[in-house]
């Protein structure tokens, strides 16, 4: 049966969203309730051996969690280089609309206190757009933009030589509204056999009502739906307007039925049209969409615009589209859903059914996902809650910290070199994947890890870890390495004893002398029981940090 899980999962999502957003008056930094575990990565969730056991000596950590039902998600704006490689790899094997996003530049609009400004206005000669909850706007073209909020404004020109992330500070103060308006639309593929899940959903909506009836919130949340099937079904699309009346929303949701379809693709394009142009979004609120489907869209219907046309409309209105792949979603569907999410600053979510590693999907209980090791899994409803709460936190300048790092600990069954090699292999792989600019066999210089104090032991360990990092970079083969002896000559010529002394001007000069297009720069800190190393990839031509990660190393693994 297609779409076995969709409606039940939606009901659970809506329930916990509303409970979570109202439990403590929903201040932006309110914690997830005690029964909601926070997030992390384990071997069962990623298909990799990160679990603390004899099979593993290190782990990637976000926050601790317990095992639960699994959906994974990928942030393709965070792992931008990895996403570009994914698009290139599958572009000739999928039915999709081609887009050129390689020259992405992220503008971050802030007030004079450094706080993000959501819904700031961005205009160029052809378009007028808004910023997302974190003040961001994604530019994919060379253009001159006017950025404004209230009476303050600034102008910036973007071209192929621009940095990939640019902060724009306006001479104004942003004060978050109270309550904060939050509009959420579920865009649902309703083909298939869904009777059981609809019954579950009815019970869930009653729970929503019970949990909200006596709670006063500090956010004004409205829910809406866009239901869609295909052009030969009972209906192609059906729009359920926004409402903050839970009883009314319950009544509308109870009318939803599943059926129709037939061929695999469905009319997602018409659903995106209704979602972006027919729903009455509040201009100055937060705007989120969750597309839930197990099928790719039809892209060849007569008089139908490309799905990316509606992604562009969503981006202009600062509507963030998160996509959720379910059931038997194939690579065509994954490709399209990830295009939609990345372009609108959203994330691609995919249900997992116990499989290991990547998946081609296309059969029952098998969702296509090609996200490498850069995804975290958790309960689907908790992932959705996380995204909504992150947007609210961003818009109120009370960001939720989600610290990510790699850690190595001493295990008796493995040599310390083996453990350290695995650690740096993973760390450097993430550095490459998370690069905000495209990497294509560029030249790289690895600078010696700099120390924070004149300590002999720290210097010895910095040299040792530099050698181990060098081995991992060579093994990865993404870059053409500049020889170490040539690197030292350049440092000597610039009279630099410590690579940590390289500032922006010297980085550009270093690149010109050495021929390096990128630098890998690191710094070691000595803590009580471990070493902490911060690693950053720097694009020489602009002296911009395009990727960063950190590793924690047990002192027993040092010299």
Q: Please give the model's pTM, rounded to 2 decimal places.
A: 0.79
Query: Which residue is associated with the tokens 């290190």?
Result: 58
**Percentage of the chain modeled with pLDDT above 90:** 40
- Residue of higher predicted confidence among 510 and 534: 534
Q: What is the CATH number of the domain that holds 527?
A: 3.40.50.10610
464 inside domain: yes
12 inside domain: no
For residue 102, which of 89, 79, 90, 84 has the smallest C-alpha distance? 84
| 50-69 per-position pLDDT tens digit | 333 333 344 444 433 333 34
Residue 40: CB atoms within 10 Å: 19
What count of Cα atoms within 13 Å lies in the side-chain half-sphere of residue 244? 11
Which residues does 505 contact at the CB level (< 8 Å), separation at least 6? 543
Domain boundary among 153, 169, 185: 169
pLDDT confidence of residue 464: 93
Q: Are 552 and 532 in contact (CB under 8 A)?
A: yes
pLDDT confidence of residue 484: 66
Biggest CA–CA distance in the chain, Å, is 76
Q: 424 falls in which pLDDT band (50, 70, 90)?
A: very high
What does the pLDDT average to over 136-150? 95
Q: 189 falls in which pLDDT band (50, 70, 90)?
A: confident
95 inside domain: no
**Structural domains counted in the chain:** 2
Residue 366: CB atoms within 10 Å: 18
Query: Which residue is associated with the tokens 């103060």?
Result: 173
362 inside domain: no
Q: Which two tokens stand for residue 175?
A: 């004060």
162 inside domain: yes
Domain boundary among 125, 152, 169: 169
- Residue of higher predicted confidence among 337 and 24: 337
* Helix/strand/coil for 409: coil
pLDDT above 70 for 407:
yes
| 348-397 per-position pLDDT tens digit | 998 776 666 677 666 666 677 787 666 666 666 667 777 888 888 899 88
Query: What is the extent of the structural domain holding 146?
Result: 105-169
Q: Which two tokens stand for residue 491?
A: 């440092």
What does the pLDDT average to over 160-185? 92
**Percentage of the chain modeled with pLDDT above 70:** 73
229 inside domain: no
Query: Which residue is associated with the tokens 């947007």?
Result: 391
139 inside domain: yes
- Residue of higher predicted confidence among 276 and 260: 276
pLDDT confidence of residue 356: 62
Q: 43 falls in which pLDDT band (50, 70, 90)?
A: very low
550 inside domain: yes
Domain boundary among 169, 194, 224: 169
Q: What is the CATH number of the domain that holds 144?
A: 2.60.40.1120
pLDDT above 70 for 188:
yes
* Helix/strand/coil for 14: helix
pLDDT above 70 for 455:
yes
């Amino acid at each position: 049966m297609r779409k076995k899980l969709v409606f039940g999962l939606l009901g659970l999502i809506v329930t916990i969203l509303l409970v979570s957003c109202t439990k403590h008056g929903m201040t932006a930094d309110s914690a997830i309730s005690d029964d909601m575990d926070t997030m992390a990565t384990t071997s069962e969730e990623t298909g990799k051996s990160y679990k603390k056991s004899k099979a593993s000596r290190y782990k990637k950590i976000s926050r601790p969690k317990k095992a639960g039902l699994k959906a994974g998600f990928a942030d393709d704006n965070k792992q931008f280089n990895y996403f570009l490689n994914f698009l290139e790899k599958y572009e000739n094997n999928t039915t999709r609309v081609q887009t050129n996003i390689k020259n992405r530049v992220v503008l971050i609009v802030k007030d004079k206190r450094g706080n993000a400004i959501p819904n700031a206005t961005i205009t160029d000669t052809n378009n007028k757009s808004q910023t997302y909850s974190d003040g961001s706007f994604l530019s994919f073209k060379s253009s001159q933009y006017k950025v404004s909020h209230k009476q303050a404004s600034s102008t910036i020109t973007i071209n192929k030589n621009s940095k990939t992330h640019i902060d724009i500070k306006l001479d104004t103060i942003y004060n978050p509204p109270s309550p904060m308006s939050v509009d959420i639309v579920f865009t649902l593929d309703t083909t298939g056999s869904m009777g059981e899940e609809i019954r579950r959903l009815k019970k869930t909506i009653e729970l929503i009502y019970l949990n909200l009836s006596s709670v006063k919130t500090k956010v004004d949340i409205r829910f809406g739906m866009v239901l869609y099937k295909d052009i030969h079904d009972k209906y192609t699309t059906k729009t359920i307007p926004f409402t903050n009346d839970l009883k009314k929303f319950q009544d509308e949701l109870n009318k939803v039925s599943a059926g129709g379809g037939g061929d695999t693709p469905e009319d997602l394009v018409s659903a995106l049209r209704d979602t972006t142009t027919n729903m009455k979004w509040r201009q100055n609120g937060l705007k989120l969409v969750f597309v839930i489907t197990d099928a790719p869209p039809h892209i060849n219907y007569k008089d139908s615009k490309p799905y990316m046309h509606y992604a562009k409309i969503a981006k202009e209105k600062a509507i963030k589209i998160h996509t959720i792949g379910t059931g038997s979603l194939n690579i065509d569907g994954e490709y399209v859903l990830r295009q939609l999410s990345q372009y609108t600053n959203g994330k691609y979510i995919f249900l997992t059914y116990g499989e290991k590693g990547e998946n081609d999907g296309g059969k029952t209980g098998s969702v296509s996902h090609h996200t490498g090791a850069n995804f975290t899994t958790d309960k689907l409803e908790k992932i959705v809650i996380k995204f909504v709460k992150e947007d609210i936190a961003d818009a109120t300048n009370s960001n939720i910290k989600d610290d990510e790092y790699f850690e190595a600990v001493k295990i008796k069954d493995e040599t310390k070199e083996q453990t350290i090699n695995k650690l740096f292999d993973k760390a450097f792989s993430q550095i490459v994947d998370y690069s905000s600019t495209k990497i294509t066999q560029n030249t790289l210089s690895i600078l010696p890890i700099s120390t924070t104090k004149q300590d002999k032991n720290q210097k010895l360990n910095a040299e040792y870890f530099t050698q181990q990092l060098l081995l991992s970079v060579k093994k990865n083969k993404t870059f053409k390495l500049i020889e170490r002896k040539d690197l030292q000559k350049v440092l000597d010529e610039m009279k630099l004893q410590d690579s940590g002394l390289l500032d922006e001007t010297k980085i550009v000069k270093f690149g010109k002398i050495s021929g390096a297009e990128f630098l890998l720069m690191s710094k070691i800190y000595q803590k009580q029981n471990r070493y902490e190393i911060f690693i950053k990839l720097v694009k020489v031509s602009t002296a911009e940090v395009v990727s960063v990660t950190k590793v924690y190393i047990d002192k027993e693994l040092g010299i």
